[in-house]
Structure 1
């Protein structure tokens, strides 16, 4: 994951105005709640919802494994109770090389979590459009406020074991490279960091070759809102490597979920000269476009 620049409307509480101005091909938009635990089972715990923002082009086992590692960490090391995990694929406005059209990425993610009891896919970022109906960039800070609004305002929070409604803690789930980028001067807008790390917090998966202590050094003011999770079994599978395998016509089975492999084969994705899908349409994030946006994932 890489940093984001300053963007309007990144401060303050979530409001209905944060919802999509208009929707994309999968309209109408509906916030997914089918696997959200609406009532806690552990007394004295704070409900927690984990959100991973990224390209997911395509989603890999590491993306899914991150949630399981975070869930284990939360159970044994915190006073939270995980009530849901969400994948939030980025908008086509990112124009990233190898970025499949958003509807394909949403579908691949949906297939990957189909049998999970607690993971869901939220297409919120992918359906955000400007007044001309074009995909619009959505900062991570706005994404987290969106989840806050949907779960704590629209739904009224999570019911505790005592029957009282409690506000769910929304937190970002990401790899160590993200927190490293956050510590680099000028790469992230301070107002966004205040929202992401100050207001919500982040669970960070440690990766080999990453100096977490160095990364955290410049983010000390947010230290209490950053949880570092050790990756006991190292896994360096990445979407970039998967696309490279596909470009070379190599097998990607057991690197990504079988339903995702089948979807890629069915739609002939990531087989172009730069690993992009064959069936790209105007506005789907052409890698050759100069209208680029910073990319998460």
Structure 2
């Protein structure tokens, strides 16, 4: 297989340690179990026009991501998706980055969608995903799914039998150190006035407090 580029799409509202850990977990899996080199990781925050309830402006989300990624030498933030005039589908974002690597990268890298089990499970939510869209993402790019405690990956395959024909491009990666941190839980804690210390880097906590986000 070609060198791998992980692409993680999402709101990052706010980015948290689990988002960043997913890259490390997936990299270990590909390096150690599949003997495949991981070239780099890309974080692509969703456009403001995604119109998700509680989604703060991309300027804030980008500032927090820049701060959180200071310690990484291989995971990079990309603002292309945020800079578009409209919301982009996951397939379109994957296609953009694959075309960019095809044009500029002589090492012939392969872009793979990196996601958590919650996104993978959302494939079964009626009306949320077009089945053809799911097929196109997996068949064209592949998907690396980092599981979380309590998730039922097998139920996704049961509810969507067509996934069984694409298993060779679906990489299920079990987190060796389960982590229950999520942006949803962090936002809920902030709205209740509870401490989020040690859930996020201190710089991000200060940023959220200074800009009165999620209150």
TM range (shorter): over 0.9
**Alignment check: 8 A CA contact 1:49 1:168 kept:** yes
Indicate which of 119, 122, 142 corresponds to 1:181.
122
CA distance in 2, matches of 1:185, 1:100: 26
Alignment partner, residue 146 of structure 2: 205
CA distance in 1, matches of 2:96, 2:131: 19
Q: CA deviation at 1:194?
A: 2.9
Q: CA deviation at 1:87?
A: 1.0
Local SS of the residue matching 2:9: strand
CA distance in 2, matches of 1:265, 1:208: 30
Root-mean-square deviation over aligned CA pairs: 1.6
Output one character per residue of 1:115-141: Cα deviation in whole Å (capped at 9) or x when no partner.
Answer: 211111111221110xxxxxx111000
Alignment partner, residue 80 of structure 1: 36
Q: Indicate whether 1:114 and 2:64 are aligned.
A: no
Alignment partner, residue 241 of structure 1: 185
Alignment partner, residue 193 of structure 1: 134
**Alignment check: 8 A CA contact 1:169 1:200 kept:** yes
TM-score w.r.t. length of structure 1: 0.68
CA distance in 2, matches of 1:119, 1:175: 17
CA distance in 2, matches of 1:185, 1:264: 34
Alignment partner, residue 223 of structure 1: 167
CA distance in 1, matches of 2:204, 2:150: 29
Q: How many pairs are equivalent? A: 212
Which protein shows a greater Rg? Answer: 1
Local SS of the residue matching 1:46: coil
Output one character per residue of 1:70-100: Cα deviation in whole Å (capped at 9) or x when no partner.
Answer: 1111111114211111111111112222211
Local SS of the residue matching 2:8: strand
In the alignment, structure 2 segments of 5+ residues that lack a partner are none
Residues 243/186 of structure 1: CA separation in 2 closer, same or farther (3 Å cut): closer
Q: CA deviation at 1:46?
A: 2.4
**Alignment check: 8 A CA contact 1:98 1:243 kept:** no
CA distance in 1, matches of 2:203, 2:40: 22
Instruction: Report which structure shows greater RCO (CA 8 Å, sep ≥6).
Output: 1
Local SS of the residue matching 2:95: helix
CA distance in 1, matches of 2:165, 2:123: 13
TM-score w.r.t. length of structure 2: 0.92
